[in-house]
Amino acid sequence: MANIDNYLLRVENLKTYFPIKKGLLRRTVGYVKAVDGISFGIKKGQTLGLVGESGCGKTTVARSIVRLVPATEGSVIFDRMDILSADKVKLRQLRRQISLIFQDPFGSLNPRMTVGNTIGDPLKVQRGVSGSELIERVGTLLAKVGSSPDHINRYPHEFSGGQRQRIGVARALALEPKLVICDEPVSALDVSIQSQILNLLKDLQEEFELTYLFIAHDLAVVEFFADFVAVMYMGKIVERAASQDLYQNPLHPYTRALMSAIPQVEPSLRGRRTILGGEVPSALNPPAGCAFGPRCPLAEDDCLKQMPALKEGPRLAGTQRSDNKEHFVACWKC
């Protein structure tokens, strides 16, 4: 990865395996390879969209980065510090600079805590803020996300899903983080509310110079929101490029299939839908070659024997890549 010092977050060869235990002695008989050797970087102020179907390992990546789930191998460098090897003191300091926005606005808020306590607890625990200063700062955060400071003493059940997610965003901003990991923050919301939350996140990014890792399965949302996109399949990144390049010239057959499923309002823009055959292989017994091989319409015998590495893909004739950025793809046929 070129110019590694320019990246706020660098993930290199990250692997997260979950052991499978059987028998009376609970012996390990295998592993579920939820994340299997992925690498990417995000520069300050940029947004990387991590996309893929449910179960491909996107959320495990997010949880491994902040050590909510122990990684098996690899490194996660945040602001030149390795999160995976940090001790408790350093990890506590690092977590002040990294926040998460969760998918479920109903399950991510404690129903027994007021909005003030939900947003204010990080300030009390990490910064020692209390009293009138705490109330003032919580009110300011609520105003920043488009909510009323008067809601400070209300409980989560008194709010709609969109309002709850705004509270979650305010909580994520409480410690003035550098990196915000958004784990499908709009997938549980109505379409009309999704655009409001996305625009809010965009505005906050500009105001506070935030860097986002944006996890989603909706490619239309990612196209609007992300500067770069990495496509995951069965724990691996199969394509990575600038957002404009990926949407104009998807190279991997899996990416093309995902693109074909994006709804289009204009009939002239609707292409032929790619229907993938077969089923996603078992994570307990993944294919020896390309993980997408058993479902790929282009697969040949060689594809099923060896896993392709990420390599720079060909350019689309007559086009130029955004700012000469690289476009990587893991496919023998690309």
What gap in Å lies between CA 256 and CA 137, rounded to an integer? Answer: 46
Residues of the chain under the 50 pLDDT cut = none
Mention every residue, 6+ apart, whose C-beta is less than 8 A from residue 17. 31, 32, 33, 34, 36, 72
- Residue-level pLDDT at 111: 93
Q: Does some domain include residue 145?
A: no
Cβ 313 vs Cβ 295: under 8 Å: no
Q: Give residue 271's pLDDT.
A: 58
Residue 138 within a domain: no
DSSP secondary structure letters along 12-34: EEEEEEEEEEETTTTEEEEEEEE
Q: What's 307's domain CATH number?
A: 3.40.50.300
Assess if residue 159 is contained within a domain: no
DSSP secondary structure string, 289-306?
S-TTGGG-TT--GGGGTS
Locate 59 and state its tokens. 């959320």
What pLDDT, in 10s, does the model give residues 19-59? 999 888 889 888 999 999 999 999 999 999 999 988 899 99
**Residue 75 placed within a domain:** yes
Return the pLDDT at 143: 96
Between helices 131-144 and 115-122, what is the axis angle to 10°? 100
Question: Looking at residue 266, what is its pLDDT?
Answer: 56
**pLDDT confidence of residue 163:** 94
The whole domain housing 252 covers: 4-97+177-329
Domain annotation covers residue 71: yes
pLDDT in tens, 132-149: 999 999 999 999 999 999
pLDDT for the residue numbered 283: 76
Examine residue 103 and state whether it is found in any structural domain, yes or no: no
| DSSP per position, 200-248 | HHHHHHHHHT-EEEEEES-HHHHHHH-SEEEEEETTEEEEEEEHHHHHH
Within a domain: 127: no
Q: How many domains does the chain have?
A: 1
Model pLDDT, residue 240 = 95
Indicate whether 92 belongs to any domain.
yes
Q: Which has the closest alpha carbon to 230: 78, 61, 34, 81?
A: 61
Residue 4 is predicted with a pLDDT of 57
Q: Which amino acid is residue 206, in one-letter code?
A: E
| pLDDT the model gives residue 329 | 94
